[in-house]
Amino acid sequence: MGEGDVGAALHATMIVVLKMGGPALLSALAVGVFMSLVQAITQVNEATLAFVPKVVVIVGVLALTGPFMLATLSDYTHGLFDQMIAIGGQ
C-alpha cells in the first residue's frame, strides 16, 4: 500500500465523516442560531428553550437521513474491506 493509497483512504474517510455528521450538525447550528435570536428578541433566558428544539430537529434529521447514512457507511465499509483483501492478495 503506497502513500497515494493511504491518502485516498483518508480522503474517502473524511468525506464519509462529513456525509454522516454534516446534516445533523448543520441543522442543530441553524436551530441554535434561530433560538438564540428568539431569546435575544424576547429576553427570555431559559436553557430548555434552546435545548428541546435542537433535540427534536436532530432526531428528525437523523430519521430522515438514516437510510442515506446507512447506505453511505455500508458502501464505504465494503470498499474498505475490498481494499484490504486486495492488499492481502499481493
Whether 90 has a pLDDT exceeding 70, the answer reads no
Enumerate the domain spans of the chain. Answer: 3-88
Find out whether 82 and 12 touch, Cβ atoms under 8 Å: no
Whole-model pTM over 0.85: no
Question: By the 8 A CB rule, do 50 and 39 touch?
Answer: yes
pLDDT value of position 55? 93
Q: Which triple of cell numbers denotes residue 23?
A: 446534516
Q: What is the pLDDT of residues 3-52, one digit of tens each?
A: 777 888 889 999 999 999 999 999 999 999 999 898 889 888 887 788 88
Residue 26, H or E segment: helix 3-42
